[in-house]
Amino acid sequence: MSKRAVILAGGKGTRLRPYTVVLPKPLMPIGEFPILEVIIRQLVKSGFTHITLAVNHQAEIIKAFFQDGERWGIRIDYSLETSPLGTMGPLRLIKDLPENFLVMNGDILTDLNFSDFYDSHVQSKHVFTISSMRRHHLIDYGVLDTNSSGVLTSFREKPSVDYEVSMGVYMLSAEALQLIPINAPFGFDGLMLKLLELNREVNVRAFSGYWLDIGRPDDYAKAIDEFENTRARFLND
């Protein structure tokens, strides 16, 4: 089965400034490769044959680096946003998307098995599948619980909170595209709220491996260290 992916690579990377003043965020280096090249190599290994890069900010630099994808043995083409359209809005600009396709952010370091994720969505027949990760957050303060009169009802010293987050990796069926407006900003949040409103089941597939969004300087530095130390975890080349 031919596998198609859309990589969202149009963001300005404002949280990573000043690094992203010169380079677009997807070209920020992780070891000897830009993070987007790591993703493309992973998708090639997972059997993907066609990648569309949704670009906007510094698009020409990204296009000059990846060109048509021949260097990696995959077809790469581009969808250009003339104005920012959010995370889901750019998909309506792409006219040849198949019945099922992968969508992901272009700044993620993970060892997710993209082929398994793709196949599980196709078999489930859901309209949308989210790859998720459990997070544990320690609150560094004493938390006060009060009633409507401002009277203390309980106290928790540095409690922890567990929650499940989206990894920025999704599988979509073509049906989901019809819920995305044309040429208007529309995010992942908007699409989720619309699917919930319509009582459409969204599949959440929990992942327990490695995942890091390099959007902040601290996470970017961590990704560089961990990629260098455990490169085989991400690339078997």
C-beta of residue 128 within 8 angstroms of C-beta of residue 170: yes
The ranges assigned to domains in the chain are: 3-134+164-234
- Average pLDDT of the segment spanning 55-64: 90
What is the pairing mode between strands 48-55 and 3-8? parallel
Name the CATH code of domain 3-134+164-234 (choices 3.90.1150.10, 3.40.50.300, 3.90.550.10, 3.40.50.720). 3.90.550.10
- Choosing from 125, 158, 194, 222, which is the catalytic residue? 158
pLDDT tens readout for residues 107-147: 999 999 999 999 999 999 999 999 999 988 899 999 999 99
Q: What is the pLDDT of residue 7?
A: 97
pLDDT tens readout for residues 1-51: 689 999 999 766 455 554 545 678 888 888 889 999 999 999 999 999 999
Average pLDDT, the chain: 91
C-beta of residue 182 within 8 angstroms of C-beta of residue 92: yes
Q: Is 84 left (phi over 0), alpha (psi -120 to 50) or beta?
A: beta
Angle between helices 59-66 and 35-45 (to 10 degrees): 50
According to DSSP, residue 135 is labeled E
C-alpha 20/C-alpha 217 separation (Å) is 11
C-alpha 210/C-alpha 127 separation (Å) is 26
Which position has the token pair 């970017």? 220
Q: Count the residues in the chain.
A: 237
Q: What is the pLDDT of residue 1?
A: 66
Judge if pTM exceeds 0.85. yes
Q: Where are the alpha helices (DSSP H) in the chain?
A: 35-45, 59-66, 114-124, 174-177, 188-197, 217-229, 231-234
Residue 125 designated active-site: no
pLDDT tens readout for residues 89-112: 999 999 999 999 999 999 999 999
